[in-house]
Amino acid sequence: MSFIIPFIILITVVVFIHEYGHYYFAKRYGVGVTDFSIGFGKEIFGFNDKSGTRWKFCIIPLGGYVKFFGDRNVFSQAEQAEILKKYNKNDQERLFTIKPLYQRALIVFGGPLANFLLAIVIFSCIYMFVGKDFTPAKIAQVSVDSPAEKAGLQKNDVIVAINDNKVLSIREVSTFINTASSNSIDITVLRNDSEIVFKTNSKFIESKDVFGNLVNKRIIGISIAPATSEINQKKLGPVTAIYYSIKEIWFVSKTTLSYVGSLILGQADTSQLGGPIKIAKISGQVAEFGLLAFISTIAYISISLGLINLFPIPLLDGGHLMFFLFEKILGRPLSQKTQEGFFRIGLFLLISLMVFTTFNDINTW
């Protein structure tokens, strides 16, 4: 139960926000919404609002959906003439299929957009009311015969950048090293009032994270300490907080895309790829660290959900945006048969990914 309850709360929040993004733009452009579901399968409980939308929670809490009036699925738009014959003029105005292309695209994009906005709100609130760490990072020790020593890094060097990522906090050093896309890492340090760039290799070691889970950790052979006598935690104003929130989202997105690219090229560590079971485990472990850590995790999962849904894979939002691009180029929607062929490919890819990540999760439990 210590894992299940935090997982259900986390998934419910990020899925609700995602689906509400679709719902908001659908209602804005006059599209009828018949169902707003959190979860799949048999309905546990729900209610109808005054516009006729059924809001419901279902038994399998691994996603959600909104269903539009008259649509077999939420994004069906092919064979418009045949669909329109089934409805009178008033009902036709509520159909997703007849809306201008830009409106349909915004309705689809609304889900990922809502996830990114949720992350901005969470990070901004943390930076404004709790603060953001700006403690400079100093090298406290360089291990003998380590990649860092061979590269020329020294004790008391102050780290100012890693792979073009400016290091603003001691907490960012490990993050930037571990998310590097290659074994070669550029470390920029401040030494005797001069900035010097060192190119160092890295290596993986099996280690434990803060929760005690075994992970492959990338290291260069240094230990870090604050460059100042005390931790520099600053509460930011709204504009600055939003700026750093967007910057954090950009970093997470960039790192994720780099990792996916490495996966495609067969260069990434696939043992770190996880699915629902891993998310459930992490959510339970993070919840034990307190509310702030748990809310921060919601923000990071929300970014991941928004970004992954933009991948050009049929069945995901990005796949439907891809179809809209084809429609714009061709001047007409792809045929229903063609779309169904793409959907089968997308379903195969998603099921394969789910099986693989579940296998990984079980092995690393």
- Domain end, chosen from 186, 205, 234, is at 234
Question: pLDDT at position 260, please?
Answer: 84
Question: pLDDT at position 354, please?
Answer: 82
296 in a structural domain: no
Under 8 Å CB-to-CB from 178, ≥6 apart: which residues?
217, 218
Question: pLDDT at position 80, please?
Answer: 64
Contact 66, 324 (CB under 8 A): no
257 in a structural domain: no
- What amino acid positions are annotated as catalytic residues? 19
| Residues in the chain where the model's pLDDT stays below 70 | 1-2, 71-83, 210-213, 268-269, 271-272, 361, 363-365
284 in a structural domain: no
The owner of tokens 């419910």 is 12
Do residues 48 and 94 share a domain?
Answer: yes
Question: pLDDT at position 357, please?
Answer: 80
The owner of tokens 């995602």 is 18
268 in a structural domain: no
- Domain end, chosen from 203, 234, 265, is at 234
64 in a structural domain: yes
CA distance 325 to 108: 13
Quickly count: other Cβ atoms within 10 Å of residue 124's Cβ. 21
pLDDT in tens, 302-361: 999 999 999 999 889 999 999 999 989 988 888 778 888 888 888 888 888 888 787 776
Contact 141, 153 (CB under 8 A): no
Do residues 172 and 194 share a domain?
Answer: yes
Do residues 112 and 151 share a domain?
Answer: no
Q: How many domains does the chain have?
A: 2
For residue 50, give the DSSP letter.
T
Q: What are the φ and ψ backbone dihedral angles of 2, each rounded to 5 degrees? A: -65, -25
Do residues 91 and 158 share a domain?
Answer: no
For residue 3, what are its two tokens?
């894992």
Q: What are the φ and ψ backbone dihedral angles of 199, each rounded to 5 degrees? A: -100, 115
Give the dihedral of Cα atoms 257, 263, 266, 270; nearest 10 deg.
Answer: 140
Do residues 118 and 141 share a domain?
Answer: no
Question: pLDDT at position 211, please?
Answer: 64
| Domain residue limits at 41 | 4-129+303-363
CATH code at 224? 2.30.42.10
Question: pLDDT at position 258, please?
Answer: 87
Q: Going by DSSP bridges, is the β-strand pair 203-208/214-219 parallel, antiparallel, or unpaired?
A: antiparallel
Cα end-to-end distance, the chain, whole Å: 16
Q: Residue ranges of the alpha helices (H) in 130-274?
A: 147-151, 170-178, 238-264
Do residues 85 and 102 share a domain?
Answer: yes
- Domain end, chosen from 216, 234, 252, is at 234
Q: What are the φ and ψ backbone dihedral angles of 288, each rounded to 5 degrees? A: -70, -20
Do residues 103 and 160 share a domain?
Answer: no
Query: Which residues are 76's β-sheet partners?
Result: none
Do residues 142 and 72 share a domain?
Answer: no
Do residues 156 and 119 share a domain?
Answer: no
DSSP 31-100: --EEEEEEEEEEEEEEEE-TTS-EEEEEEEEEEEEEEETT-SSTT--SSHHHHHTTS-HHHHTT-GGGS-
Torsion sign across C-alpha atoms 160, 161, 166, 170: negative
Quickly count: other Cβ atoms within 10 Å of residue 82's Cβ. 9
Do residues 113 and 137 share a domain?
Answer: no
Say what the pTM is. Answer: 0.89
Query: Which residues are 218's β-sheet partners?
Result: 204
Distances (CA, A) of 106 to 115, 138, 166: 14, 46, 34
Question: pLDDT at position 341, please?
Answer: 87
Contact 39, 66 (CB under 8 A): no
CA distance 233 to 136: 11
Helix (H, G, I), strand (E, B) or coil at 39: strand
271 in a structural domain: no
Contact 246, 136 (CB under 8 A): no
Q: Going by DSSP bridges, is the β-strand pair 214-219/132-133 parallel, antiparallel, or unpaired?
A: unpaired
Q: What are the φ and ψ backbone dihedral angles of 364, each rounded to 5 degrees? A: -105, 10
Do residues 95 and 138 share a domain?
Answer: no
The owner of tokens 């890492």 is 185
Question: pLDDT at position 223, please?
Answer: 92
Do residues 24 and 120 share a domain?
Answer: yes
239 in a structural domain: no
What residue type is 207 in one-letter code?
A: S
Residues in the chain: 365
43 in a structural domain: yes
